[in-house]
Amino acid sequence: MDDLTPSEQHLLKLLAYYGPLTTRRIIRLNPKPNWRRLLTRRIVVEHCTAYGRVIAPSRETYDAFRKAGKEMPYLIAPGSAADRAFQMDAIWSLQDQGYEVSRAEYKGSRHRNGKKTSQVLYVELRTPQAAREAWAGPIYEHFWRPARGYPYLYASVANGGLKVSQVRKLVSSHKMDRSTWQHPLIIAVPNAEPLRAYHRQLEAKREHLSGPMLQIIELPPPPEGE
């Protein structure tokens, strides 16, 4: 890989740091990228997924990085690659609003070695000032300064994204966390329509003075071929 152009090297660094990314995101992060030669040489692979075209490091590239003692997310399957690309887009959309990544929790391995995989279960975020003020509301804003919460983000595009049953379980398991976070649970899905009715139910039954229970981010897939 010593003969790579600066643009190709930059793309590989992006994939090593963030994991698989959509071609749309790569174009934003790496002006005038050209990954055709990387594809030809099997340095990267391109997956056509439900979330559009996703570029990921090849297994050979992952092995080369590992032998060199360098870190690179191991997300070879198309579904896993698309999920990471979707998660990163969700994170970037929140960062545009002032949120900051605190940490990520990774899925455990099925093997007995206890090592974590590269698959992200959820991301913990630091909230911006505007979100804290919105949670406190006009009634409480004169009594205390809202603390900086650390809500969780769950994001998935696999099998059409998080289903209502899955979101119900997440909301239930994090019910007591909202007061600590002072922020709703955040989920990102490619299509929020199936969740609208459940979201309305949550808003209708929550306590009048408490903050919202759920924040939904919709990241629809691109037109076919992008």
pLDDT tens for residues 114-160? 678 899 999 999 998 777 666 655 555 555 455 567 999 999 999 99
Do residue 57 and residue 158 come from a single domain?
no
Tell whether the model's pLDDT for residue 2 goes beyond 70: yes
3-state secondary structure of 216: strand
Q: Convert the pLDDT of each residue in 61-111 to its tens digit.
A: 999 999 999 999 999 999 999 999 999 999 999 999 999 999 999 987 665
Tell whether the model's pLDDT for residue 173 goes beyond 70: yes
Range of the domain at 61: 6-78
Does residue 213 lie in a domain region? yes
Does residue 226 lie in a domain region? no
Does residue 83 lie in a domain region? no
Sign of the torsion formed by the C-alpha atoms of 185, 186, 188 and 194: positive
Please give the structure tokens belonging to residue 107.
């899925």
**Which of these three, 28, 53, 78, is where a domain ends?**
78
Do residue 34 and residue 125 come from a single domain?
no
Can you give the pTM of this predicted structure?
A: 0.90
E strand spans, 1-76:
21-22, 44-49, 52-57
E strand spans, the chain:
21-22, 44-49, 52-57, 100-108, 116-126, 152-155, 185-189, 214-218
Q: How many domains does the chain have?
A: 2
